[in-house]
Structures are given as structure tokens and as C-alpha cells.
């Protein structure tokens, strides 16, 4: 599966495209996610993915076994967090929304939350996307607006309805009306540098794994 996903990142066949549609969570899904947050299940992976990211930057393996790939193309900085079966599809999808919510806490607006399905010859690819922008009114007396980390995109890529990876990246604005962007390393720390999960939180993994 990991090899297939790496091939997917580097080369795609021509798919049958559908238009982007608004991503909608049902009231039951929203209530379930709120409980997942209250149970702090995210602590099982926030810190480990943060460490795995820095291990990857240093060129060494992650002691937690989570796979991370760096994004450094077209002016973007980011990371790809590969799904691990130990997480479970339900937890991974909750973690995708959790990442968006953490960015909102940093002073961002949620511009869009969309979904699109691409039908390839041998598989179906679904893309869930959160696109966030810094607050437009957050400007200093000099007139330069605080871009924080630039615009932020968070994608969840699923293959045949099974999660494959989360793509999390920042795209800084290069215009004099904005302050210089903070680094992606700082963004990673702000979102994922959290305390480790205790035994009670670890025990919650199975409860949400198969949603």
C-alpha cells in the first residue's frame, strides 16, 4: 500500500473528474467528532507525527514507525502523513479535521471545505480538502497584513474509500502588503507539539478506529 501511494504522488493516470462539492458532516458525525476531541484521542498521533517529521528532515527513521514525506516544491512547505493501520480509518479522518481546527485556533479563516472523487481505470480516489487563509483584518499600523504562515491546505486522500495519507502544507504570499511568513517548522510545532497520550487516551483508539 505504501509503495502504491508513493507512485500515486509522483504519477497519475488521466481520471474521470467530478466537480468539487462542499464537504458536509452530519449532526451525528459532528457529535462523534466532538467526543473524540473531548477524549483527546488526537494525542496518540500529534506528537508522534511531529517527531516523525523532524526525523525525516534529519534523514533518520521514526522510532514510532509513522511514515512522513516532506513537501518542498513550487514554493510550498509541508508534509505528508501516511496512514498506518494501527490508527484506524475513523481516527485518521478525525485527525484530518483536528488539524484544520488547530489551524483555525492560530488566527485563520476556513475558506472552503470540499470533496472530489476521481475515477481512475483501476481505483477510485477521493480528496477531502480544507483550505484556510489568515484573517484579512489582522494588519499592523504599517499597513502590512500578518500572513502568519501563508495560506494553508489540508488534504485527506483516500483510495477505494480507505484513507491513504494527509497532505498538510503552507503556501506563503510573496507580496509587500504581507509580513514575512513564519516557517512550516513553526506551524508544525503550533499544531502538533502536544504532550504524549497516557494509558487512558491510548485505550480510546479502538473505540473510534473503524468509523
Give the other-Cβ count within 10 Å of 105's Cβ: 9
Q: What count of other Cβ atoms lies within 10 Å of the Cβ of residue 27?
A: 7
Q: What is the mean pLDDT of the chain?
A: 88
Radius of gyration for the alpha carbons in the chain, expressed in angstroms and rounded = 17
Grid cell locating 190: 503550533
The residues near 14 (Cβ < 8 Å, ≥ 6 apart) are: none
What per-residue confidence (pLDDT) applies to 189?
Answer: 98
Q: Which residue has the higher pLDDT, 14 or 57?
A: 57
CA separation, residue 90 to residues 44, 86, 132, 152, 161 (Å): 13, 11, 23, 23, 12
Q: Quote the pLDDT of residue 63.
A: 54
Residue 61 above 70 pLDDT?
no
Q: How far apart are the first and last CA of the chain?
A: 20
Strand partners, 21: 115
pLDDT digits (tens, 9 = 90+) for 160-175: 999 999 999 999 988 8
Residue 31: pLDDT band with limits 50, 70, 90: very high
Model pTM above 0.85: yes
Residue 209 pLDDT > 90:
yes
C-alpha cell recorded at residue 28: 451525528
Q: For residue 102, what are the contacts with CB-CB under 8 A and spacing of at least 6?
A: 190, 191, 192
- Output the DSSP codes for 70-124: EE-STT-EEEEEE--TTT-HHHHHHHHHHHHHHHHTTTEEEEEEEEEEEE-SS-E
The residue with cell 483501476 is 122
Q: Kindly state the DSSP code that residue 196 receives in the 8-state scheme.
A: P
Amino acid at each position: 500500500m505504501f509503495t502504491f501511494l508513493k507512485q500515486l504522488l509522483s504519477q497519475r493516470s488521466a481520471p474521470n473528474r467530478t466537480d468539487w462539492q462542499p464537504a458536509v458532516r452530519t449532526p451525528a458525525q459532528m457529535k462523534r467528532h466532538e467526543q473524540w476531541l473531548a477524549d483527546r484521542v488526537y494525542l496518540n498521533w500529534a506528537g508522534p507525527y511531529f517527531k516523525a517529521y523532524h526525523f525525516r528532515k534529519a534523514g533518520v527513521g521514526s522510532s514510532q514507525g509513522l511514515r512522513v514525506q516532506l513537501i518542498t516544491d513550487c514554493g510550498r512547505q509541508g508534509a505528508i502523513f501516511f496512514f498506518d493501520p494501527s490508527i484506524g480509518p475513523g481516527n485518521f479522518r478525525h485527525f484530518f479535521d483536528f488539524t484544520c481546527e488547530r489551524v483555525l485556533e492560530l488566527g485563520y479563516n476556513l475558506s472552503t471545505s470540499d470533496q472530489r472523487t476521481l475515477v481512475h481505470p483501476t481505483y477510485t480516489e477521493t480528496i477531502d480538502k480544507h483550505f484556510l487563509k489568515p484573517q484579512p483584518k489582522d494588519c499592523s499600523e504599517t499597513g502590512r497584513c500578518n500572513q502568519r504562515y501563508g495560506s494553508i491546505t489540508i488534504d485527506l486522500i483516500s483510495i477505494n474509500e480507505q484513507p491513504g495519507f494527509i497532505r498538510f502544507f503552507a503556501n506563503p504570499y510573496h507580496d509587500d502588503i504581507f509580513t514575512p511568513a513564519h516557517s512550516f517548522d513553526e506551524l508544525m510545532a503550533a499544531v502538533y507539539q502536544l504532550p504524549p497520550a497516557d494509558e487512558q487516551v491510548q485505550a480510546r483508539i479502538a473505540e473510534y478506529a473503524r468509523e
